[in-house]
Amino acid sequence: MDELKFNVPIPPMEFRELSKTGNPKLDKELDRGNRSVKKDSQRKRESEPHRAIHFMWFHFLRLCLELEGMNYFFQKRGAKGEIIGKGKKVSVSKKIYKDWDLDGIMSLKFNDWYYTKNKKDIFNGKMNHIGRPQYNSLVKKYNVFVRYFNGADGNYDNELNLCEKIVLKLEKKRYDRVDRTTNKRKSEYRKLVWKEVKSCEDVILACCQGEFPKSS
């Protein structure tokens, strides 16, 4: 089984822990209470209100590229995971993403790409996200997909156990609306996970064509 190596689940609060200013030295001054740096940081946040969404777009594109490198197809599956019908190949449009540094993006952290490489300018009219995407919802889709992709081995019983683990342990904070006071059947956890996996597949395919998170 193939396993994603460049894309790993995003920890809780990951985005808030990113550099506040784009400059590590200024981050330290900000933490020490430098007023001028605080003002600059505030202006930066106000001028980049969608930076969290750009952060997720960056990670979803990396996911697309890694899946493309595996020659991966999203297969249509039946109730117990059996493959039915034709699949959809993950293929990133190199023309649409020609300014994104596709050759280097897999080895770069977001801030290095966004600020040092000055790729934040891509979003100033050239490419814009669709609708009003929610950061936490995108992280949940991304994380569940990555965990499922790396953990599923084709065995149905193992899949049920994996899905239960994803909901109750690995992504517990993301599934905070799940009622854990009742004894759910494992198949119910599988439905919760599959809902996010299939939704994430749609986001990935749309992202390949420059639409993020996806068109209606």
pLDDT along the chain (216 residues), means of 10: 84 59 53 53 55 95 96 76 73 96 94 91 87 92 96 93 94 74 76 94 96 81
Contact 28, 173 (CB under 8 A): no
Q: Can you give the pLDDT at residue 30?
A: 53
Coil, helix or strand for 154? coil
How far is residue 97's CA from residue 19's CA, in Å, rounded to a whole number?
25
**Which among 104, 118, 115, 106 is positioned nearest to 24, based on CA atoms?**
115
Q: Can you give the pLDDT at residue 187?
A: 85
Distance of CA 91 to the CA centre of its chain: 17
Query: How do the domains of the chain map onto residue ranges?
Result: 51-208
Q: Which residues pair with 77 in a beta bridge?
A: 83
**Which among 5, 3, 26 is positioned nearest to 149, based on CA atoms?**
3
* pTM, rounded to two decimals: 0.80
